[in-house]
């Protein structure tokens, strides 16, 4: 038995998913001091509010990382 490999050059484009049924962007916030993380939410205000509450309980925890889950689609160009 022999293996057969076909390789061809193709041009691709990648961009945000635009289909009507595509998931919305999902946000999270992570504390840079203790690594505690907010719940994921489609509303940025939810994770922003979590960060305000977290720093209110932990005044020395002032740095945060925003985590964004954005859905993308690759399309073969013709």
The pLDDT tens digits of the residues spanning 51-69 come to 999 999 999 999 999 999 9
The structure tokens listed for 17 are 């998913």
Which of 45, 22, 40 lies closest to 30 in space, CA to CA? 40
Q: pLDDT of 31-41, one tens digit each?
A: 999 999 999 99
Residues forming beta bridges with residue 68, ordered by sequence position = 27
Q: What is the pLDDT of residue 70?
A: 96
Q: What is the pLDDT of residue 4?
A: 76
Cα→Cα distances 31→8, 22, 43, 65, Å = 45, 29, 18, 6
């Amino acid at each position: 038995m022999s293996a057969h490999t076909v390789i061809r050059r193709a041009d691709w484009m990648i961009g945000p998913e635009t289909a009507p049924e595509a998931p919305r962007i999902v946000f999270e916030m992570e504390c840079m001091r203790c690594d505690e993380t907010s719940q994921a939410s489609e509303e940025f205000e939810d994770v922003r509010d979590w960060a305000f509450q977290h720093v209110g309980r932990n005044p020395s925890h002032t740095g945060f990382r925003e985590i964004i889950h954005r859905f993308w689609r690759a399309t073969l160009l013709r």
